[in-house]
């Protein structure tokens, strides 16, 4: 029996057929390995496992009882995965299917984003190769929620599977023969009205879409949490106002993209497509506009993460978008909404900035955010 050590895990290979014939020998061998490495949690490598019967499943179950932590069974073939799935073991262990291995050598780059590089794999499919810093559970969530949203009718690329490209993880999606709104606008400012309408329509569609899934982020809860963290470091008067503000945010059932910007919406011939669903969740409809407002705010510091037009054009686009979103509201209501958006955006900004106060630019931004937050909290509608 082969086993390998890592920091806190020990990898144990499961091979061939495991059934009543060899289950007790296997159990003895695994126990010997685990006794020699008492602090390690087992990770079972099933790449060479062909079959496992109930006797084999019992061996795993006995081991599971000893550990509180998640136990992984990795590189599982589709046939063996079916056994784990049928018997409910996928609910007890973290079972990961064996991934296809693909190469991107010679594949043209279609785009780059914050989490990876997207290549054209063939004429129908693309592959997004993630940067190493992106964690596996986030990659898994992106593909799972993309499937759920696709099925729920959100216009998005058909998601396939998670694969390996060398040491990196990657996801395979349908190729969308369209252009990002960012490129459309950059190419020709005559596309302004079209981009604005598509950008707003897609967000409205998301807000109306209800998807029940435990994989979706809960932006209402996350925001409450951010507020609590930020409250701890602010003067008491400001903290009290934040608390009151946070409690006044009406939770939302609809979808929040979480990273809604012009590079994540594509368009061609009347058909919009939303991509990059890794951050999608549910929550108040103010969160997407608040995040885009934050991108706008960052311009002051020379950071233009996604809307790399002139600050004037970006600002105009932003406010035209808000006007379209809330076109049916009175002027006063619209002003109130913008105030709330700003407060959410400043609180989120402070939440991130507080970790990097030793960097002069972030510290300057932090100080500005405090002043701006203070100002808006005084006028925010109760």
User: Would you tell me which residues interact with Mg ion (CB under 5 A)?
Assistant: 113, 264, 276
- Binning the chain into helix, strand and coil, the percentages to the nearest 5 are 50, 20, 30
279 binds ligand ADP (CB under 6 A): no
Instruction: List the one residue from 27, 264, 282, 292 that touches ligand ADP (CB under 6 A).
Output: 264
Among 128, 261, 340, 342, binds ligand ADP (CB under 6 A): 128
Distances from the Cα of 101 to the Cα of 15, 127, 130, 139, 220, angstroms: 21, 12, 14, 16, 38
Q: For the chain, state the CA radius of gyration.
A: 25
Contacts with ligand ADP by CB under 6 A: the residue count is 20
- Given candidates 45, 220, 276, 285, which one binds ligand ADP under the rule CB under 6 A? 276
The stretch among 96-104, 170-178, 341-349, 359-367 that binds ligand ADP (CB under 6 A) is: 170-178
Cβ closer to Mg ion: 264 or 282? 264
Per-position DSSP letters for 213-232, written without gaps between them: -TTSEEHHHHHHHHHHHHHH
130 - beta bridge partners?
116
- Residue 176 interface partner, choices ligand ADP, Mg ion, none, CB cut-off 5-8 Å depending on type: ligand ADP
Assess 275 for contact with ligand ADP (CB under 6 A).
Answer: yes
Whose Cβ is closer to ligand ADP: residue 56's or residue 281's? 281
Q: Which stretch binds ligand ADP (CB under 6 A): 34-42, 173-181, 223-231, 313-321?
A: 173-181
Binding residue for ligand ADP (CB under 6 A) from 176, 206, 344, 373?
176
113 vs 254, which CB is nearer to Mg ion? 113
Cα separation, 35 vs 67, whole angstroms: 13
Q: Token pair of 305, please?
A: 């993460």
**What is the closest distance, in whole angstroms, from the C-beta atom of residue 103 to ligand ADP in the complex?**
19
Among 27, 263, 284, 348, binds ligand ADP (CB under 6 A): 263
Minimum CB distance to ligand ADP smaller for 199 or for 366: 199
For the CB of residue 261, give the shortest distance to Mg ion in the complex, in Å.
7
Q: Which is nearer to ligand ADP, 80 or 157 (CB)?
A: 157
**Are 119 and 129 spatial neighbours (Cβ–Cβ below 8 Å)?**
yes
End-to-end CA separation in angstroms for the chain: 66
Report CA-CA distances (Å) from 350 to 85, 357, 379.
44, 10, 19
Q: What residues pair up with 170 in beta bridges, in sequence order? A: 129, 163
118 binds ligand ADP, rule: CB under 6 A: yes
Partner that binds at residue 126, options Mg ion, ligand ADP, none, CB closer than 5 to 8 Å by kind? ligand ADP
Work out how close the CB of 309 gets to ligand ADP at its nearest, in angstroms, rounded to a whole number: 15
- Exactly one of 160, 173, 293, 297 binds ligand ADP (CB under 6 A); that residue is 173
**Cα of 228 vs its chain's centroid, Å:** 22
Contact positions with ligand ADP (CB under 6 A) in 97-116 = 110-116
In the complex, residue closest to ligand ADP by CB: 113
Give me the sign of the Cα torsion angle 224, 228, 229, 230: positive
Residue the block writes with tokens 């997004």: 128
Question: Taking the CB of residue 378, how many other CB atoms lie within 10 A of it?
Answer: 9
91: number of CA atoms within 13 Å, CB side?
3
Q: How far is the CB of 138 from ligand ADP (least distance, A)?
A: 10
Q: Is 157 in the site for ligand ADP (CB under 6 A)?
A: yes
- Residue 46 or residue 172: which is nearer to ligand ADP going by CB? 172
Q: Does 175 bind ligand ADP (CB under 6 A)?
A: yes
- Assigned token pair, 375: 């100002």
Look at phi and psi of residue 108 and say left if phi exceeds 0, alpha if psi is from -120 to 50, else beta: beta
Q: How far apart are CA 329 and CA 251, in angstroms?
A: 20
b/e burial code for range 130-144 (CB count within 10 A of at least 16 → b): beeebeeeebbbbbb
In the complex, the residues that contact ligand ADP under the rule CB under 6 A are: 110-116, 118, 126, 128, 157, 173-176, 180, 263-264, 275-276
């Amino acid at each position: 029996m082969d086993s390998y050590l890592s920091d806190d895990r020990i990898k144990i290979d499961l091979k061939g057929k495991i059934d009543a014939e060899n289950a007790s020998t296997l159990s003895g061998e695994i126990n010997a390995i685990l006794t020699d490495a008492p602090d390690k949690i087992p990770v079972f490598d099933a790449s060479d496992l062909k079959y496992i019967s109930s006797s084999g499943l019992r061996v795993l179950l006995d081991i599971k009882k000893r550990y509180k932590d998640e136990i992984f069974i990795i590189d599982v073939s589709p046939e063996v995965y079916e056994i784990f799935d049928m018997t409910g073991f996928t609910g007890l262990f973290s079972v990961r299917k064996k991934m296809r291995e693909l190469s991107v050598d010679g594949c043209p780059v279609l785009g780059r984003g914050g989490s990876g590089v997207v290549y054209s794999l063939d004429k129908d499919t693309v592959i997004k190769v993630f940067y190493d810093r992106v964690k596996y559970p986030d990659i898994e969530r992106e593909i799972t929620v993309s499937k759920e949203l696709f099925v729920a009718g959100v216009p998005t690329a058909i998601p396939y599977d998670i694969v390996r490209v060398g040491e990196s993880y990657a996801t395979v999606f349908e190729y969308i023969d369209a252009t990002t709104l960012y490129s459309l606008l950059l190419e020709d400012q005559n596309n302004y009205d079209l981009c604005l309408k598509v950008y707003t329509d897609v967000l409205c569609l998301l807000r109306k879409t209800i998807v029940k899934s435990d994989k979706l982020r809960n932006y209402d809860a996350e925001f409450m949490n951010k507020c609590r963290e930020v409250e701890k470091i602010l003067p008491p008067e400001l903290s009290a106002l934040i608390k009151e503000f946070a409690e006044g945010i009406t939770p939302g059932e609809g979808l929040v993209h979480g990273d809604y910007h012009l590079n994540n919406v594509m368009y061609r011939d009347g058909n919009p497509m939303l991509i990059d669903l890794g951050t999608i969740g549910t929550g108040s409809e103010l969160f997407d506009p608040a995040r885009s407002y934050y991108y706008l705010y960052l311009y002051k510091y020379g950071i233009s993460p996604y809307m790399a037009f002139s600050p004037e054009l970006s600002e105009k686009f932003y406010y035209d978008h808000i006007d379209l979103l809330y076109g049916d509201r009175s002027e006063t209501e619209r002003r109130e909404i913008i105030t709330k958006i700003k407060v959410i955006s400043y609180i989120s900004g402070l939440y991130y900035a507080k970790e990097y106060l030793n960097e002069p630019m972030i510290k300057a931004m932090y100080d500005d955010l405090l002043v701006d937050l203070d100002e808006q909290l005084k006028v925010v509608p109760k």
